[in-house]
């Protein structure tokens, strides 16, 4: 255990845009447990501008320089999924602890390679399934653990991808190729499924699913050009949980005029509902409702103790709380944050859904 800040090196930082700038850096700067020691970008001038703007000690134009910096304790990988295998591998081989954004790899095979390397190096790993840290998710988890719903009978999930609908921003065009591992199926659906399973404290025993397209084309927001919508905009999944309950999930591309996000947990003693006006569990804006016995459904405000670090609702909140868990794990050897093992487990579920062709597969 130490009081010295954990020195972080972030791969792929732009001063004005990107996931690192939007979520990671605001979270890190608010936490005294961390210090931004280094940033990198494949264009050195952008790396320098990022370091200057965000107060990083050093900037690098290559990943190799960052991961071999002796002052970096934790390497954070926030770039697009197709680059994860190469960059995570470099960081692990340099002997660093690694926090990679989800998905860990473009596919199960790549994720398993990274996990095997991490185990061989006895490295600390964390995966960006940060929705597990969201206050509403943890409030529901504790309610369920304390018996609010009794024995869980069924779990129902409805979600919207926000993009992958009528139009898509040009920067997200790479997500239309399923091989890149960053589609609606791999990101918002996977995050939502993971957070749901975490909240109910169970895993999938078997699963089946179907992926399809209701839209043949989508429009690029910046230009109005129509392009083929080659990634699924409809995901339907049914599964059986290890606790005996049934799970169903339906994700749609774009946004709905009706229900955009809804998790319903039906139990022998009560029911819980989590909703959000936005499309999936990662964006916040949650409302928790519940009822037991003959009570009417009513809102259950999330107690302040679940938001102890003072982050505002949204991406930086869940990412910031995830970093708090990482700090505890690295300093005190707790096991609060999801690891590469959790990432591979989720990759296996996704692989079972895709490879099953609608048939039920054991997970």
pLDDT at 1 exceeding the cut of 60: no
**Is residue 101 domain-shared with residue 231, that is, in the same domain?**
no
Of residues 307 and 25, more confidence is placed in 25
Residues 305, 311, 313, 316, Cα dihedral to 10°: -130
- pTM metric for this prediction: 0.95
Strand partners, 100: 77, 127
As a whole number, mean pLDDT of residues 206-230 equals 96
* Residue 121: both structure tokens together: 């190096």
Q: Tell me the per-residue pLDDT of 245-286, one tens digit each, with 9 for 90 and over.
A: 999 999 999 999 999 999 999 999 999 999 999 887 767 789
Looking at residue 179, its pLDDT comes to 93
Q: Classify residue 1: in a domain, yes or no.
A: no
* Residue 189: both structure tokens together: 């659906």
Total domains present in the chain: 2
Q: Classify residue 325: in a domain, yes or no.
A: no
Domain around 153:
132-320+344-362
Q: Where are the alpha helices (H) located in the chain, listed in sequence order?
A: 19, 25-29, 44-54, 63-67, 84-93, 108-120, 135-145, 190-200, 315-332, 340-355
Looking at residue 316, its pLDDT comes to 75
Nearest to 272 by CA among 294, 295, 297, 293: 297
Q: Binning pLDDT at 50, 70 and 90, where does residue 361 land?
A: confident
In the chain, the percentage of residues whose pLDDT exceeds 70 is 97
What is the DSSP pairing of strand 204-212 with strand 361-362? antiparallel
Q: Tell me the per-residue pLDDT of 12-23, one tens digit each, with 9 for 90 and over.
A: 999 999 889 989
pLDDT at 345 exceeding the cut of 80: yes
Q: Classify residue 188: in a domain, yes or no.
A: yes
CATH number, domain containing residue 290: 3.30.360.10
Q: Binning pLDDT at 50, 70 and 90, where does residue 230 land?
A: very high
Looking at residue 357, its pLDDT comes to 67
**Is residue 356 domain-shared with residue 286, that is, in the same domain?**
yes
Q: Tell me the per-residue pLDDT of 134-149, one tens digit each, with 9 for 90 and over.
A: 999 999 999 999 999 9
**Is residue 32 domain-shared with residue 11, that is, in the same domain?**
yes
As a whole number, mean pLDDT of residues 125-132 equals 96
**Is residue 160 domain-shared with residue 122, that is, in the same domain?**
no
């Amino acid at each position: 255990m130490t009081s010295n800040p954990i020195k972080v090196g972030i791969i792929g930082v732009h001063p004005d845009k990107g996931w690192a700038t939007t979520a990671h850096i605001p979270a890190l700067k608010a936490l005294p447990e961390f210090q931004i020691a280094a940033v990198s970008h494949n264009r050195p001038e952008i790396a320098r501008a990022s370091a200057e703007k965000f107060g990083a000690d050093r900037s690098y134009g290559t990943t190799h320089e960052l991961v071999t910096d002796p002052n970096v304790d934790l390497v954070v990988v926030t770039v697009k999924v197709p680059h994860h295998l190469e960059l995570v591998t470099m960081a692990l081989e340099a002997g660093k602890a690694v926090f990679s954004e989800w998905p860990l790899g473009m596919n199960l095979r790549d994720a398993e390679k990274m996990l095997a390397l991490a185990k061989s190096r006895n490295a600390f790993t964390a995966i960006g399934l940060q929705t597990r840290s969201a206050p509403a998710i943890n409030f529901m988890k504790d309610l369920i653990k304390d018996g609010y719903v009794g024995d869980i009978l069924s779990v129902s999930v409805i979600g919207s991808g926000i993009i992958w609908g009528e139009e898509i921003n040009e920067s997200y065009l790479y997500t239309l190729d399923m091989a890149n591992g960053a589609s609606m199926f791999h990101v918002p659906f996977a995050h939502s499924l993971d957070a749901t399973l975490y909240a109910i404290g169970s895993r999938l025993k078997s699963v089946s699913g179907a992926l399809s397209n209701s839209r043949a084309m989508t429009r690029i927001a910046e230009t109005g050009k129509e392009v083929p919508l080659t990634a699924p905009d409809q995901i339907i999944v049914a599964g059986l949980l290890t606790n005996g309950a049934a799970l169903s999930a339906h994700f749609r591309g774009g946004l709905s005029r009706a229900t955009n996000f809804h998790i319903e947990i039906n139990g022998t003693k009560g029911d819980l509902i989590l909703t959000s006006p936005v499309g999936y569990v990662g964006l916040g804006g949650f409302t928790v409702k519940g009822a037991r016995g003959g009570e009417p459904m009513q809102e259950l405000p999330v107690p302040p103790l679940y938001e102890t670090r003072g982050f505002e609702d949204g991406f930086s909140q869940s990412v910031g709380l995830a970093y708090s868990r990482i700090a505890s794990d690295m300093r005190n050897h707790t096991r609060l944050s999801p690891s590469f093992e959790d990432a591979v487990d989720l990759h296996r579920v996704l692989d079972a859904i895709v490879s099953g062709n609608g048939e039920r597969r054991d997970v």
